[in-house]
Structure 1
């Protein structure tokens, strides 16, 4: 019984390691350039083992998107410990700016993957990538709603929390794209400061 539990635990850990490796390699190389061997190498497992857990590259892409969702949930859970919704949003922007070097080199993990998947003729998986971004939008809208209910957000925040969330996330996607296109992490610094100023203006 113990051996069976240990085997299941090891299998789960290996699958998780492969999913994390897929998220990293797909972010750095994109879907088309990435092979199963690349992911196996990053995870430190024999390439033949990959097929035991993931039969196709699409399954690995789906696992990478699940990893991105998990990372987003971990981040927002940490932010939710802050008592003030404005501080949560400020900390989110600061976290984005803190990843400026990675963004300048590879772009936003979810945004770049969504853009690539959206160009595929089969049209698969792009909706799942969009769902990760939708999850962020919904969380941000919730923060603006809380600001309005507590009297912090002013009438604009009260009437349009979803629009404010869209402005925030669009700002992030835009600055990530430009930082990547220009290979300039300071784009993130400057535009992050602009987003913080915009957030503070919602009084």
Structure 2
């Protein structure tokens, strides 16, 4: 491959990534149904005509947004995995949610709101993909609880992730970022209170 071919490939890959990042952001703010290809092109600073080279339909862009959410989650949990222990990782996850309080109060959880919207569509497919991304978070949280030696790590994971979805929904419905702050503080206390059974 010549240098110019390699440069073109890198430019194309960077443009595709910009479109995926923009799709994730715009769909979160506007919802999948209200978002147009032009909205995403504008946010990515890519000519609308060029978008079709990478993504043929709006649903392809929504699928790209889901893939981008999965990539961002993988980056997040990969960083958390470098922390010393599972309790520290879980607490850092919750603290991260608290830093997103204003975004959650305005638009809700990126994955939760998108999963609910896609589930209302008459045709299926993307709703299952949204559920798969949420499952990635549940599985990671469950692994942390299992490493802590706690009983029912899957149930605890549902409790924690469910609490996040609930607080995001309430913060958005009430337009009150303090919901996130208060509930994250409560979750941190809950995580500190959990103790593995004595053997």
2: distance between equivalents of 1:182 and 1:60? 30
Distance 1:100 1:4 in 2: 44
User: Which aligned pairs between 1:79-94 and structure 2 lie closer than 5 A?
Assistant: 79-94=80-95
Among residues 186, 189, 192, which one is paired with 2:184 in the alignment? 192
Output the CA distance in 2 between the equivalents of 1:47 and 1:7. 19
Q: Distance in 1 between matches of 2:33 and 2:127?
A: 14
Alignment of 1:174 with 2:175, yes or no, is no
Superposed CA offset, 1:67-124 (max 9, x none) = 1011111111111111111010000000001100000001100001000000000012
CA separation in 2, counterparts of 1:25 and 1:73?
20
Q: Partners in 1 of 2:67 and 2:146 — Cα distance?
A: 27
Separation of aligned partners in 2, 1:89 and 1:104: 22
Tell me the TM-score normalized by structure 2. Answer: 0.96
TM-score, normalisation: structure 1: 0.94
User: In structure 1, the residue corresponding to 2:148 is in which secondary structure?
Assistant: helix
**Unpaired segments ≥5 residues, structure 2:** none
Moved over 3 A (4+): none
State the secondary structure of the residue aligned to 2:33: coil
SS at match of 1:184: coil
Q: Which residue number corresponds to residue 21 of structure 1?
A: 22
In 2, the alpha carbon distance for the partners of 1:196 and 1:9 equals 42
Name the count of aligned residue pairs.
194
CA distance in 2, matches of 1:35, 1:136: 28
Instruction: Report whether the alignment pairs 1:131 with 2:99.
Output: no
Shift of 1:196: 1.1
TM superposition shift of 1:201: 1.3
In structure 1, the partner of 2:37 is 36
Segments of structure 1 that go 5 or more residues without pairing to the other structure are: 149-156
- Per-residue CA deviation, residues 4-54 of structure 1 (Å, 9 max, x unaligned), is 111111111111100100000000000111000000000001100111110
